[in-house]
Amino acid sequence: MPRTTKRHMKDQIYDIFLGRIQRGEINHGDRFVDTAVAEEFNVSRMPVRDALMRLSHEGYLDSTTRGFTLPNLSMRQICEIFELRRLLEPRAAALATNQLTEDDIATLTRAVEQSERTLETGEIESLYAASEDIRRTWIMAVPNIELRDTILRYMAQIQAVRMATLRDATAHETLVDLQRDMLRAFVERDAAKVELLLLRYVLAGEDSFLRLKAREQD
């Protein structure tokens, strides 16, 4: 394979895996070995290895002796990521408010409707997917590229936390209510209200996570 084609394939594999991570399609039990991924893409190991190593260097994957996995976060790291989210995400969402297109609003509306249905069905995977759609839509509308990329960098690292908190029946209704309120604020282009609601959303997720951890230790 020509050198330029190898470089192109390496970037393609990187983009595909990054997208899978950010859409929540990769779970913490998944493990990726370069030879198996090379078979999937019908390429040699080198572009696969380069792509997976880049994802590892950027914090999206952990490199182990048995392949690549999502990061296994310590309690300290999780608490620090929540702190980052409290500091960055409310302001980022406020900045995104007036940048959202009509298509973005339509996507947010469908996702919130999907979340609302889970209050009756209890389908946590559907709630997870809807929550990821909401989060990804407003993040991609953030006009400050450095801020957006910083938030995207730790999206993969909060997936296990997100799945745990969404399984918390106590928090389920609260989180859906906040998603509904945020949609209304986005539609009204009320950046100040969006900022407040996003902070409340992060705090609700953090409270749920800490409550679940305390329950596990009892």
Asked if 50 and 103 sit in the same domain, the reply is no
Q: Is the same domain home to 63 and 82?
A: no
Q: Are residues 60 and 115 in the same domain?
A: no
Domain hosting 58: range is 3-69
pLDDT of residue 3: 47
Q: Do 8 and 38 fall into the same domain?
A: yes
Mean pLDDT, rounded, for 177-190:
98
- Please tell me whether residues 85 and 192 are part of one structural domain: yes
Domain CATH code at residue 195: 1.20.120.530
Same domain, 45 and 129: no
- Which of 69, 85, 101 is at the close of a domain? 69
Task: Return the closest-CA partner of residue 159 out of 59, 21, 55.
Answer: 21
Backbone angles phi, psi at 30, to 5 degrees: -80, 140
208 and 107, same domain (yes or no): yes
CB atoms within 10 A of CB 11: 14
The whole-angstrom separation of Cα 128 and Cα 124 is 6
Q: What is the model's pLDDT at position 203?
A: 94
Q: Whose CA is closest to 163, among 175, 153, 152?
A: 175
State the total domains in the chain. 2
Q: Please indicate, yes or no, whether residues 81 and 140 belong to a single structural domain of this protein.
A: yes
Backbone region of residue 189 per phi and psi (left: phi > 0; alpha: psi in -120 to 50; beta: other values): left
Six-digit token pair at 12? 């393609």
Model confidence pTM above 0.85: no
Helix H or strand E segment including 102? helix 102-121
Mean pLDDT of 163-171: 73
Residues 86 and 151 in one domain: yes
Q: For residue 65, give Cα distances in angstroms to 15, 97, 173.
A: 23, 44, 41
User: Do 26 and 57 share a domain, yes or no?
Assistant: yes
Question: What is the pLDDT of the chain when averaged over all its residues?
Answer: 87
Percent of the chain with pLDDT over 70: 90
Q: Which residues contact 186 (CB under 8 A, 6 or more apart)?
A: 97, 100, 105, 108, 138, 194
Q: Element (H or E) spanning 67, and its range? A: strand 67-69
Amino acid at residue number 86: R
pLDDT at position 47 is 92
In the structure encoding, which two tokens stand for residue 50, read together? 């380069």
Residue 141 is predicted with a pLDDT of 98
> Last residue of a domain, which of 69, 85, 104?
69
Task: Provide the CATH number for the domain around residue 33.
Answer: 1.10.10.10
- Label residue 57 by pLDDT band (50, 70, 90): confident
Q: Are residues 65 and 102 in the same domain?
A: no
pLDDT of residue 123: 86
Final residue before a domain boundary, out of 69, 101, 125: 69
Whether residues 112 and 153 share a domain: the answer is yes
Is pLDDT at 132 greater than 50 in this prediction? Answer: yes
